[in-house]
């Protein structure tokens, strides 16, 4: 999808009608991806754009509050002094505020739509360990059942746990290893045994499988959400 730049509301021509056109084109692509249940990278980009826009508003208000104010009256009910800013926004800043005030509700709407899709899919993905789980679980194999192609895709994963505010659980890197057909005898346990025999770098790997009963795009939705589920699951072990 075509992304907005991080300073889209201030770069080039700062004009409400022009920015409105840019924004509506962006949200049209967002809606297109959501209609096909494609969450990434569109959802991550939406979150970043929304946070950047809010940060701009907060920084502007903080800077504006540093300037001197003039007392213009008293609120008789609340017994508070009423102030007026001595330095007012110029025409450019007022235009930017108009653009931002228009964009924020739309960002919030599509973020909510994305969250609904995410929550629905999350409810249909079930994670469970395969076989005996070793003490070292920060790396191993992740098996994804893909109902759309009737197969299981095996990934090698490595997790870096984190307690930072932006990453409640941590991050995970995955590398595609192999694909297996879903058959009565080709169980998750058998797939794990095959991986152990085929790849000697992980002789006793932690292995987790994620099963689902719905068809969803692999790269844009299934794998990104599965990675988040895996990190959350392991961080709680």
Confidence of residue 92 (pLDDT cuts 50, 70, 90): confident
Would you state the pLDDT for residue 57? 84
Residues 44-64 have a mean pLDDT of 85
In the numeric block, which tokens belong to residue 41? 């990278």
Peptide bond into 31 cis (omega under 30): no
Q: Of 105, 109, 208, 94, which Cα lies nearest the Cα of 159?
A: 208
Would you state the pLDDT for residue 64? 60
13 or 2, greater pLDDT: 13
Rounded CA-CA distance 143/150 in Å is: 13
Rounded CA-CA distance 110/122 in Å is: 18
Residues 11-22 have a mean pLDDT of 88
170-212: pLDDT as tens digits? 789 999 999 999 888 889 999 999 999 999 889 899 999 999 9
Burial class (CB in 10 A: 0-12, 13-18, 19+), 151: middle
Query: What's the DSSP call for residue 222?
Result: I
Average predicted confidence (pLDDT) for the chain: 85
Residues 126-132 have a mean pLDDT of 95
Confidence of residue 126 (pLDDT cuts 50, 70, 90): very high
Would you state the pLDDT for residue 81? 42
In the numeric block, which tokens belong to residue 171? 């991050």
Would you state the pLDDT for residue 90? 62
């Amino acid at each position: 999808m075509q992304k907005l730049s991080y300073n889209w509301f201030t770069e080039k021509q700062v004009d409400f009608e022009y920015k409105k056109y840019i924004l509506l084109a962006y949200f049209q692509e967002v809606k297109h991806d959501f209609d096909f249940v494609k969450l990434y990278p569109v959802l991550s980009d939406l979150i970043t754009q929304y946070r950047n826009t809010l940060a701009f508003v907060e920084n502007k208000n903080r800077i504006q509050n540093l300037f001197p104010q003039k007392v213009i009256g008293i609120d008789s009910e609340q017994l508070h002094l009423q102030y007026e800013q001595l330095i007012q926004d110029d025409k450019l800043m007022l235009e930017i505020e108009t653009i931002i005030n228009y964009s924020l509700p739309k960002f919030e709407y599509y973020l909510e739509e994305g969250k609904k899709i995410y929550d629905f899919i999350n409810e249909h993905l079930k994670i469970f360990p395969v076989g005996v789980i070793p003490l070292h679980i920060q790396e191993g194999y992740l098996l994804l059942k893909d109902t759309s192609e009737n197969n299981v895709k095996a990934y090698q994963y490595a997790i870096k746990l984190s307690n930072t505010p932006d990453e409640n659980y941590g991050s995970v890197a995955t590398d595609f290893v192999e694909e297996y057909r879903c058959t009565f005898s080709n169980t998750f346990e058998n797939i794990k045994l095959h991986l152990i025999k085929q790849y000697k770098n992980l002789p006793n790997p932690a292995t987790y499988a994620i099963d689902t009963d719905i068809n969803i795009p692999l790269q844009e939705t299934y794998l990104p959400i599965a990675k988040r589920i895996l990190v959350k699951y392991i961080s709680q072990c």
